[in-house]
Amino acid sequence: MIIHLKSTVTAHEANQLAETLKAFHVQSDGVQILITGSGIKELPSTLADKADNYWVFPNDIQLASKKYRSEKRTVDLGNVKIGGATHNTVLIGGPCSVESEEQIRTSAQLLTSLGLTTLRGGCYKPRTSPYSFQGLGLEGLKLLAKMREEFGLKVITEARDATHIQEIIDYTDIIQVGAKAMYDQGILRACAKTDKPVLIKRGFGTTLQEFVQAAEFVMSGGNMNVVLCERGLRTFETGTRFTLDLCGVAWLQEYTNLPIILDPSHAMGYAYGVPALARACVAMGIDGLLIEAHPDPKVAKSDASQQLDHEQFKALYQSLKPVAESVGYKIV
Ligand code: PEP
Ligand code: MN
């Protein structure tokens, strides 16, 4: 249950009420909000004269639900807004991993030349083998921050565990919680304590309900700046790396109020399929795309097979524009 308290209730009183009820207390848009589990179906009697409004839910998709808030939430990055009523499809591009200053600068130049705003690059890579390239860590974060400074771009990078969340907050603009990391309660709880935007990727064996509940972990701690990212599921098929769940995207659009970004690069696993898939994604009217591009994919230190080269990325960008326009969106 979500309860909005009357404006006469102070933050301190709301906090005390939350403690007694074992509820979460957050303040959002100037409103004191209490959140209990969805098992509570009746307004607690102690709140009878303190509640302004309340919502009952069939499950624990609450703050992220359309039932609670029908308008899509907006994540404001300053130079660009994701979600809300903007009808922006934010094309986030860049390499799988930050590998060197030259490589990430070439990527930043590519985005800038197209008028795009947001650069991706992993620094703490969650690899399936300990012998693979693990990312440049703090050195990579500093390179991203340098590009942010030089080009005025926003930067996004992924958290592998909770120990470096503060560094990511300090050096970047969006915390990416990867498909393998989205079950990590340490990461989710750390993301809840900041107001930094958080992009949560769906695990490849994660139901939609579990996926949105990961977002609820962040939101119930007070950080409403959450974006969901579909990046493919593991199915019986081995011809492609994963299977992009566009049905799931339709479901998220119907039942949640969160901006939705799609990542066809990781879903496909091979560069040849990425442009067509990206166009299919954009045709759904989505808030953003995450596309891996590398100045020279064949020498990439991670995910080499799926990264577009820069000519392919430029061609993709041009081909996305009319598709976005046809559904009332704009690639930014
Ligand atoms: C990535 O974005 O490079 C990445 C590792 O993605 P995922 O968590 O979706 O596998
Ligand atoms: Mn990758």
Each residue's pLDDT tens digit in the chain (332 positions)? Answer: 999 999 999 999 999 999 999 999 999 999 999 999 999 999 999 999 999 999 999 999 999 999 999 999 999 999 899 999 999 999 999 999 999 999 999 999 999 999 999 999 999 999 999 999 999 999 999 999 999 999 999 999 999 999 999 999 999 999 999 999 999 999 999 999 999 999 999 999 999 999 999 999 999 999 999 999 999 999 999 999 999 999 999 999 999 999 999 999 999 999 999 999 999 999 999 999 999 999 999 999 999 999 999 999 999 999 999 999 999 999 99
Q: Residue 21 and residue 48: Cα distance in Å, rounded?
A: 13
Q: Are 329 and 88 in contact (CB under 8 A)?
A: yes
Closest ligand to C-alpha of residue 233 is: 1
Please tell me the distance from the alpha carbon of residue 82 to that of residue 108, in angstroms, as a whole number: 20
pTM: 0.97
Bridging pattern class, strands 74-76 and 31-35: unpaired
- CA 291 to centroid of ligand 2, rounded, Å: 9
Residue carrying the six token digits 């020498």: 299
Closest to 249 measured CA to CA, from 259, 241, 234? 259
- How far is C-alpha 8 from the geometric centre of its chain's CA atoms? 35
Beta-strand ranges (E) seen in the chain are 2-5, 24-28, 31-35, 51-55, 74-76, 81-83, 88-94, 118-120, 154-159, 174-177, 198-201, 226-230, 260-262, 288-292, 330-331
- The predicted structure's pLDDT at residue 141: 98
Range list of H helices, 67-164: 101-113, 138-151
List ligand 1's pocket residues with C-beta within 6 A: 96, 122, 126, 158, 178-180, 201, 231, 266
For ligand 2, the distance from its centroid to the CA atom of residue 94, given in whole angstroms, is 10
Query: Candidates 176, 201, 233: which one to mutate for ligand 1, based on the most atoms within 8 Å of Cβ?
Result: 201
Residues whose beta carbons lie less than 5 angstroms from ion ligand 2: 96, 303
Q: Per the structure block, which two tokens stand in for 119?
A: 């650069």
Ligand 2 centre to CA of 281 (Å) is 18
Closest ligand 1 atom number to CA of residue 229: 9
Separation of alpha carbons 60 and 1, rounded Å: 9
How is the chain split into domains, by residue range?
2-55, 74-331
Closest-approaching ligand to the CA atom of 157: 1
Give the mutation target among 119, 180, 266, 305 for probing the ligand 1 site: most ligand atoms within 8 A of CB: 266
Beta bridge partners of 293: 308
Looking from the CA of 104 toward its CB, the CA atoms found within 13 Å total 30
Q: Quote the pLDDT of residue 124.
A: 97
Q: Burial code of 253-280, b = ≥16 C-beta within 10 A, e = fewer? A: beebbbbbbbbbbbbbbebebbbebbbe
Which of 123, 128, 176 best tests ligand 1's pocket when mutated (most atoms within 8 Å of CB)? 176
188 within 8 A of 217, measured Cβ to Cβ: yes
The label of the residue with tokens 């930014």 reads: 332
Q: 140: closest CA among 177, 178, 168?
A: 168
Report the distance separating Cα 6 and Cα 13, nearest Å: 11
pLDDT of residue 79: 85
CA of residue 307 to ligand 2 center, whole Å: 8
Q: What is the predicted pLDDT for the residue at 85?
A: 94
Q: Ligand 1 pocket: which of 180, 229, 231 to mutate (most atoms <8 Å of CB)?
A: 231
DSSP string spanning 175-198?
A: EEE-TTGGG-HHHHHHHHTS-S-E
CATH class for the region spanning 74-331? alpha beta
What separation in Å is there between the alpha carbon of 106 and the centre of ligand 1? 21
